[in-house]
């Protein structure tokens, strides 16, 4: 009886020891193997993928591993209420902004390929220019904290990574990514028309697979997989004039009744920069009493050195280079809101999905660069100059001219 128990004990201990040996081997050797082979994974962006030859045999194992590990990612189950009849697209903000939902085809812009080459070249040159310095520029991709990778949305079905920038058509680009990735269901089937997707689901973080979620899914392999996808997938982002983006953020978050932004941002701004001590509990009461954050209050808040000691800038006014890390990630396509219709049509063609869907029509009366002088007229010159320094990297990296008329008397 004792010998039988000892035999079973040795059998269990032997099995555990074997498992530990396998884990130790994979920990020291397996991940190194994986990391070395990721360099083979990415063909040239937006081109037909080459058939692997004998020289890529080693990489094919990693391809198989990635396919098995990632390719089985199923569709997200429909959230409560998703099977019900959905409301028409749009919300208060979209109707106030004057969205035009009528379909229209974008005429091709002049030599769009050359335009893309120029934008990518500007990015590449300034990222490599040692004399152009800004915070976080010199760090590597591995140095980027996980929480700063939450704007990189991944579509494994089509091999696409989109870095979304709030106030740059990101609602509709997120809708497009949902359709492509089939990450959201309506009555048990994936959405096919971007405009059918309700806005509240578009901005729900659980709808999208983003880089910052990789750690929970893949643990120690998360950075390896991110790098493999960055090499292999087509990466894009859309930007706009930094000052115009600030005006747009101010208009949508502080000139419209927004309960969250009133409590989180407007109340502290009104107390600190307008000397209001007793403020209403709700935004509707505040607006009824004529208590609104001014554009000057907003600029004071951005320039206040104490602001980011409390928390990083909100994503709606955080600099694009802090959201999308363009000096650590080499983007294949840089779109601009100023040429949104042409760029969107070009990108969908390059991704070979233009027959499947169209980019949702954008609203026509966007906040425009011609408004800048009016909005900044009451802002002191010293503040404008400080604000430019705060957003200078975005101006330079994405080829926007320095607003000289705002920066001198």
Q: What is the DSSP string of 228-245?
A: HHHHHSEEEEEE--HHHH
Q: What's the confidence (pLDDT) of residue 365? A: 47
Q: Per the domain annotation, does 297 fall within a domain?
A: yes
Task: Looking at the structure, tell me whether residues 257 and 401 fall in a common domain.
Answer: yes
pLDDT in tens, 262-306: 999 999 999 999 999 899 999 999 999 999 999 999 999 999 999
Q: Which of 320, 234, 304 is nearest to 265 (CA)?
A: 304
Q: Per the domain annotation, does 85 fall within a domain?
A: no
Q: What is the CA radius of gyration of the chain?
A: 25
Q: Per the domain annotation, does 235 fall within a domain?
A: yes
* High-pLDDT (> 90) share of the chain, %: 68
Q: Per the domain annotation, does 3 fall within a domain?
A: no
Higher pLDDT, 26 or 67: 67
- CB of 302 closer than 8 Å to CB of 317: yes
Task: Looking at the structure, tell me whether residues 236 and 267 fall in a common domain.
Answer: no
Q: Per the domain annotation, does 379 fall within a domain?
A: yes
Q: Which helix (H) or strand (E) holds 369?
A: none
Residue 237 β-bridge partners:
163, 334
Task: Looking at the structure, tell me whether residues 124 and 194 fall in a common domain.
Answer: yes
- Alpha-carbon distance 259 to 281, whole Å? 10
The mean per-residue pLDDT over the stretch 327-347 comes to 96
pLDDT in tens, 216-266: 999 999 999 999 999 999 999 999 999 999 999 999 999 999 999 999 999
Task: Looking at the structure, tell me whether residues 159 and 226 fall in a common domain.
Answer: yes
The structure tokens 């087509």 sit at: 234
Q: Per the domain annotation, does 10 fall within a domain?
A: no
Task: Looking at the structure, tell me whether residues 304 and 395 fall in a common domain.
Answer: yes
- Averaged pLDDT score across all residues of the chain: 80
Task: Looking at the structure, tell me whether residues 135 and 283 fall in a common domain.
Answer: no
Residue 74 has pLDDT above 80, yes or no: no
Task: Looking at the structure, tell me whether residues 257 and 132 fall in a common domain.
Answer: no
The structure tokens 């701004």 sit at: 269
Confidence grade of residue 7 (pLDDT, cut at 50, 70, 90): low
Residue 363 has pLDDT above 80, yes or no: no
Task: Looking at the structure, tell me whether residues 151 and 198 fall in a common domain.
Answer: yes
Q: How many domains does the chain have?
A: 2
Q: Which residue range forms the structural domain that includes residue 231?
A: 92-241+325-368
Residue 99 has pLDDT above 90, yes or no: no
Task: Looking at the structure, tell me whether residues 151 and 211 fall in a common domain.
Answer: yes
Task: Looking at the structure, tell me whether residues 346 and 359 fall in a common domain.
Answer: yes
Residue 313 has pLDDT above 50, yes or no: yes
Q: What's the confidence (pLDDT) of residue 409? A: 76
Task: Looking at the structure, tell me whether residues 183 and 123 fall in a common domain.
Answer: yes
Q: Per the domain annotation, does 292 fall within a domain?
A: yes
Task: Looking at the structure, tell me whether residues 285 and 401 fall in a common domain.
Answer: yes
The mean per-residue pLDDT over the stretch 159-187 comes to 96
Q: Per the domain annotation, does 271 fall within a domain?
A: yes
Q: Which of 97-106, 288-297, 306-315 has the lowest mean pLDDT?
A: 97-106
Q: What's the confidence (pLDDT) of residue 67? A: 53
State the pTM of this model. Answer: 0.76
Q: Which of 235, 218, 232 is nearest to 44 (CA)?
A: 232
* High-pLDDT (> 70) share of the chain, %: 71
């Amino acid at each position: 009886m004792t010998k039988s128990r000892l035999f079973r004990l040795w059998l269990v201990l032997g099995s555990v020891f074997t498992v530990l040996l396998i884990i130790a081997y994979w920990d020291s050797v397996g991940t190194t193997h994986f990391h070395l082979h990721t360099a083979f994974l990415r063909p040239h962006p937006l081109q037909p993928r080459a058939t692997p030859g004998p020289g890529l045999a080693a990489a094919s194992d990693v391809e198989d591993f990635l396919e098995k590990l990632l390719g089985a990612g199923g569709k997200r189950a429909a959230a409560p209420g998703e099977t019900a009849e959905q409301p028409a697209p749009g919300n208060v903000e979209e109707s106030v902004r004057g969205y035009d939902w009528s379909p229209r085809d974008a005429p091709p812009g002049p030599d769009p390929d050359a335009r893309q080459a120029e934008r990518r070249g500007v990015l590449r040159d300034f990222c490599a220019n040692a004399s152009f310095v800004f915070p976080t520029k010199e760090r590597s991709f591995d140095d980027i904290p996980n929480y700063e990778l939450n704007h990189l949305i991944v579509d494994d079905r089509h091999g696409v990574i989109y870095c979304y920038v709030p106030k740059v058509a990101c609602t509709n680009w997120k809708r497009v990514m949902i359709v492509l990735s089939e990450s959201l269901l309506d009555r048990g089937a994936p959405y096919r028309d971007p405009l059918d997707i309700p806005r509240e689901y578009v901005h729900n973080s659980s709808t999208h697979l983003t880089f910052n979620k990789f750690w929970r899914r893949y643990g120690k392999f998360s950075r390896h997989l991110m790098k493999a996808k960055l090499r292999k997938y087509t990466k894009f982002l859309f930007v706009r004039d930094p000052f115009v983006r600030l005006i747009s953020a101010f208009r949508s978050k502080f000139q419209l009744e927004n309960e969250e932004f009133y409590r989180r941002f407007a109340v502290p701004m009104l107390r600190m920069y307008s000397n209001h001590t007793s403020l209403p509990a709700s935004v509707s009461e505040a607006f009824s009493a004529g208590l609104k954050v001014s554009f000057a209050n907003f600029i004071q808040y951005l320039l206040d050195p104490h602001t980011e000691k409390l928390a990083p800038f909100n994503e709606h006014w955080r600099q694009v280079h802090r959201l999308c890390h363009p000096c650590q990630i080499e983007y294949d396509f840089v779109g601009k809101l100023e040429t949104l219709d042409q760029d969107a049509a070009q990108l969908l063609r390059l991704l070979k999905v233009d027959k499947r869907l169209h980019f949702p029509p954008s609203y026509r009366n966007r906040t425009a660069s011609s408004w800048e002088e009016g909005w900044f007229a009451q802002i002191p010159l010293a503040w404008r100059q400080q604000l430019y320094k705060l957003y200078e990297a975005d101006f330079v990296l994405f080829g926007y001219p320095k607003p000289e008329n705002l920066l001198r008397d």
